[in-house]
A and B are shown apart, each in its own frame.
Chain A
Amino acid sequence: MVSVLIVEDDSAIRSALIRALTAGGHAVASAATGMAGLSSAVDGRPDVVVLDLGLPDIDGLRVLPMLRAVSSVPVIVATARDDERVIVQALDAGADDYLVKPFGAEQLEARIRAVLRRLATATPDASVTVGGLTVNPVTREVTVDGIPVELSRKEFDLLYLLAQRAGEVVTKREILAEVWRQTYGGGDRTVDVHLSWLRRKLGETAAAPRYLHSIRGVGIRLVDPSADSGTAAGGSASGSS
């Protein structure tokens, strides 16, 4: 059980979040203002804080450094502004992750899990290795057979997501939600284009894949090319609901 503190001024969202997270088996506390949130974060010692940026009393971007001064609790920022600058500011101010409204309960839970997992595995070497491919999320460096590969931000995020779940089929919908924080998918070639670029940079093509295998109509699976490719496709493709 994870204890979550929700700092959100909109009562409808607040109660919806409490209901959703409680249903998911979490202990949930909530605050409607930045000041109340700060004191709850200090007194209640939650495992994770979900912080809305648009608070009535203090801007969420100013709550972050105050919170960071007294606590190292992981913070997921929820914002209605998908402005890149705001998100970068929030991450720089100490947020661990972010969500753009509107989002679903599953997404929020996935973020909470991811943040806590990162916290648990925050060892000096957190890199993921699949065959000759090494992805280091701390230094954001990628090597293939020891040779460094230059990736753009989104390309890195995409590869890291796939590498973390090596052998599993990851749906494009999941990728859009995880990497692009878009809850609605479809009609958009963004993932495809980035995958193609990623293939180029890893030195492979769709016709002759090594690490990145497209499963038509389902998603993408990252595999270790040195292992036998005849193993069953990952079973956790979570449909397209």
Chain B
Amino acid sequence: MLRTRITWLAVGIISAVVVSFVIPLCLLVRTMVHDRAMAEARVLAQSTATLVASVDDLTRLAVVIDPVIQAAAASSAGPIHLCVTLPDGTRIGPADDGFDSDAAALIERAGTQSASFTQVTGESADVLTPVTVATGTVVVHTSTHFVYLQSRIWLVWATLAGLGAVIIGLGAFISRRMAERISTPVTEMADVAHRLREGDLSARAHTSAGASPTEVTELGTALNRLAARIAELLAGEREAAADLSHRLRTPVTALRLDTDLVADDAVRDRLRSHVEDLHRVIDSVVTEARRTSRDDMTAAGDLASVAAGRTAYWRPLAEDQDRSLAVEVPSTPVFVALPSADLRDLVDTLIDNVFAHTPEGTDLEVTVTATDGVARLAVADAGPGLASVDLVERGRSGNGGTGLGLDIVHRLADRAGGSVRLGRAHLGGLLVEVQLPHLPSAD
């Protein structure tokens, strides 16, 4: 679907942009948190060193240092360990907590140096500051373990991810609304095209400028012009059919009137019969011309309801003629590619054939079925089957008296992409079966 596709495209683009900003931002945040903790550790080491240098009596150092240690453990930049190693090896502060197993080595190294240094590993940062006092070197060691910082980093990352999701969601919503502005008119136009196909020539697309993009409006205008053109052509064809009727019937009328004046009865009757044949042919030609101009646009008709309606129409005559008329028609619509008017002609012609070519009292059966995409209309009778086949075939070739009947059936079946089959009915007489492609539905 167009709307979904546009929405997904927008979501994809927005997601790519958001991700390409959020990931570096997350890394940056982590570095900043780490840096801040390290800076804090450095400041703490510096101030502790100053404190150590200002204390004369190292034995009292512990008392002074303890609150500092407590404060450092609760630092806002994350917990910082503070440990002061006196020249005699005594440690003030938490013992080695296992993270920095090489703390002893670091302290040893600091003891031999005069300058402060920082060691950063993937897991921690250690700041060591040697302080020279009268009795030797005191090493102030502050360390921060990144693992303690991870929870705040996660919090920030989650916030960033949430923000990103909100942006993507908002983007999806807005792009969906914009996609609707394109897809809704396009869907409407498809609907208009369908209605035109079904024969509603008054169907037109809305083309109010501004409501939808220019291209879509343009498409709507083009569709409307096409619809107008189709209506025009159809009207022209109808006019031509009416004109054809007029042009053919006028001379036949003169002929018909003049035959009345022929004095010889035998000749007059023969002439009249010829004129009537001519009249019949003209009628069928005109009907056919009209049929084409009528159905080019209309597509589907419901074979089931037409068959039910027409059999109801014929039933009183069947009863008067002592014929049993069995009807088997599904209650659900069976759509085929012929308009209802043509379907009526189809069913009527087949039933009429039975009435015309079988004696009174002959049973008949009309069945409509729809299986495997094929709709079948079967009209069977209990008459003298093969003789009927002859009659019907003669009718088809057009030189029989009532002639044109089955020809129309063949033509209509052809038009709907179907076929006609003649056979022997289980009732004993003729079976005419018309097979037409079954349309899924006439949506």
**A80-B257 contact in complex given A189-B356, A206-B320, C-beta closer than 8 Å:** no
> A13 touching B257 by the CB < 8 A rule?
yes
| Total CB contacts across the A-B interface at under 8 A | 102
Q: How far is the CB of B401 from chain A (nearest CB, A)?
A: 6
> A13 touching B320 by the CB < 8 A rule?
no
Is B252 on the interface with A (CB-CB < 8 A)? yes
B245, B275, B277, B319: which contacts A81 (Cβ < 8 A)?
Answer: B245
Is B359 on the interface with A (CB-CB < 8 A)? no
What B residues does A17 contact at CB under 8 A?
Answer: 257
In A164-222, which residues have CB < 8 Å from any B CB? 183-184, 186-189, 192-193, 195-197, 199-200, 205-207
Q: How far is the CB of B182 from chain A (nearest CB, A)?
A: 43
A81 to B243, CA, bound (A): 8
> B319 touching A187 by the CB < 8 A rule?
no
Interface of B is mostly: helix
> A186 touching B253 by the CB < 8 A rule?
no
> A241 touching B355 by the CB < 8 A rule?
no
> B252 touching A19 by the CB < 8 A rule?
no
> B321 touching A13 by the CB < 8 A rule?
no
Closest B residue by C-beta to A185: B276
> A183 touching B279 by the CB < 8 A rule?
yes
- Mask: chain B, 252-278; 1 = CB below 8 Å from A; 0 = not: 111111111100000001001001110
What B residues does A102 contact at CB under 8 A?
Answer: 249, 252-253, 255-257, 275, 279
Closest A residue by C-beta to B316: A196
What B residues does A200 contact at CB under 8 A?
Answer: 316
Is B250 on the interface with A (CB-CB < 8 A)? yes
A205 to B276, CA, bound (A): 33
Is A104 on the interface with B (CB-CB < 8 A)? yes
Is B402 on the interface with A (CB-CB < 8 A)? yes
A102 to B278, CA, bound (A): 10
> A184 touching B280 by the CB < 8 A rule?
yes
Is B317 on the interface with A (CB-CB < 8 A)? yes
Q: How far is the CB of B128 from chain A (nearest CB, A)?
A: 108
A164 to B319, CA, bound (A): 27
Is B242 on the interface with A (CB-CB < 8 A)? yes
What B residues does A196 contact at CB under 8 A?
Answer: 316-317, 319-320
> A206 touching B252 by the CB < 8 A rule?
no
Size bin of chain B's contact surface: 35 or more
Is A145 on the interface with B (CB-CB < 8 A)? no
**A205-B245 contact in complex given A10-B254, A101-B250, C-beta closer than 8 Å:** no
> B256 touching A103 by the CB < 8 A rule?
yes
> B257 touching A16 by the CB < 8 A rule?
yes
> A105 touching B260 by the CB < 8 A rule?
yes
Is B352 on the interface with A (CB-CB < 8 A)? yes
A16, A82, A199: which contacts B320 (Cβ < 8 A)?
Answer: A199
Is B109 on the interface with A (CB-CB < 8 A)? no
A82, A183, A192: which contacts B256 (Cβ < 8 A)?
Answer: A183
A54 to B258, CA, bound (A): 21
Is A12 on the interface with B (CB-CB < 8 A)? yes
Interface residues of A (CB under 8 A from B): 10, 12-13, 16-17, 19-20, 23, 54, 78, 80-83, 101-106, 183-184, 186-189, 192-193, 195-197, 199-200, 205-207, 241
14 contacts between A and B (CB under 8 A): A13-B254, A13-B257, A19-B257, A78-B253, A80-B245, A104-B260, A106-B260, A183-B279, A189-B355, A193-B316, A195-B320, A197-B316, A199-B320, A241-B272
